[in-house]
Amino acid sequence: MTIQLGDVVPDFTQKSTEGDISFHNWIGDGWAILFSHPKDFTPVCTTELAEVARLKPEFEKRNMKPIALSVDSVDSHQGWLADIKETQGSAVNYPILADADRTVSDLYGMIHPNADDTLTVRSVFIIDPNKKLRLTLTYPASTGRNFDEILRVIDSLQLTEYHKVATPVNWQDGDDCVIVPAITDPDQMKELFPKGWKELKPYLRMTPQPNK
């Protein structure tokens, strides 16, 4: 199954390290990040799960809940959680879905047969409060994810959701933004962007970040 940006993500009920999870209900009225792992007791995944635990306050500031997935059982996950705490110094503080039957992996297209026909790739799904998919990232199993970049993208998604701007190349929170081309009325621009703007071209107008 291929999920495209803007689609409502598939709902499911699945076991996890924090009990049964009905996904849409679990998301609630906030944002969510679902990220998959090839299997339990793998070295790169061990570092990633600990990093997300350390970053949980950053996700909470963004009204976002993290949830992981691995294609092993809850019992296996529990043993892995002990290893993560021992080796990384951080206890996992969010649920890990058990997907031994590949239900979620198949629903979300996490298994890429030409890479590996049984293990999931490192998929990332950013989901908004309307349960719509806003971003996907796919990494090979050998490459750990950059969660600083994932937080940057979340900041961009949430900024552009509520303000008439886009974010330019290498944008970081607090940098100038691009006024979307659809806004052309000068009075509307003055109302939306009271800090002013710089017109480099009629289609390229830079303004200070509106929510800063």
Residues 129 and 184 in one domain: no
Do 124 and 175 lie in one domain? The reply is no
* 53 within a domain of the structure (yes/no): yes
pLDDT given at position 121: 58
pLDDT of residue 157: 97
Considering the domain architecture, whether residues 201 and 111 belong to the same structural domain is answered as: no
The whole-number pLDDT of residue 62 equals 97
Q: Same domain, yes or no, for 79 and 181? A: no
The encoded tokens of residue 18 equal: 């924090």
Q: Is the residue at 177 inside a domain?
A: yes
Residues 6+ apart with CB under 8 A from 142: 44
- Taking residues 180-194, report their average pLDDT: 94
| Domain annotation covers residue 3 | no
Percent of the chain at pLDDT exceeding 90: 79
Looking at this protein, which amino acid is placed at residue 194? P
Identify which of 57, 122, 49 has the alpha carbon closest to the alpha carbon of residue 91.
Answer: 49
pLDDT above 90 for 119: no
Instruction: List the CATH number of the domain containing 169.
Output: 3.30.1020.10
1 within a domain of the structure (yes/no): no
Helix %, strand %, coil % of the chain (to 5): 30, 25, 45
Q: What integer is the mean pLDDT of 176-193?
A: 95
Identify whether residues 31 and 73 lie together within a single domain.
Answer: yes
The verdict on residue 151 lying in a domain is no
pTM assigned to the model: 0.91
pLDDT exceeds cutoff 70 at 117: no
Q: Which domain holds residue 185?
A: 163-207
- One domain, residues 61 and 131: yes
- Choosing from 115, 144, 173, the residue where a domain stops is 144
How many domains does one find in the chain? Answer: 2
Do 119 and 57 share a structural domain?
Answer: yes
Write the CB contacts of 78 (distance below 8 Å, at least 6 apart in sequence).
17
Average pLDDT over residues 168-191: 96
Same domain flag for 47 and 84: yes
Q: Which of 2-11, 103-112, 157-166 has the lowest mean pLDDT?
A: 103-112
Question: Does residue 63 belong to any structural domain of this protein?
Answer: yes
- Per-residue model confidence as pLDDT tens digits over 37-68: 878 898 999 999 999 999 999 999 999 999 99
- Residues 21-34 have a mean pLDDT of 98
Q: Is 193 in contact with 176 (CB distance < 8 Å)?
A: no
- Domain contains 39: yes
Q: From the candidates 21, 32, 34, 45, give the one annotated as an active-site residue.
A: 45
- Catalytic: 45? yes
pLDDT for 114: 47
| pLDDT in the model for residue 116 | 52
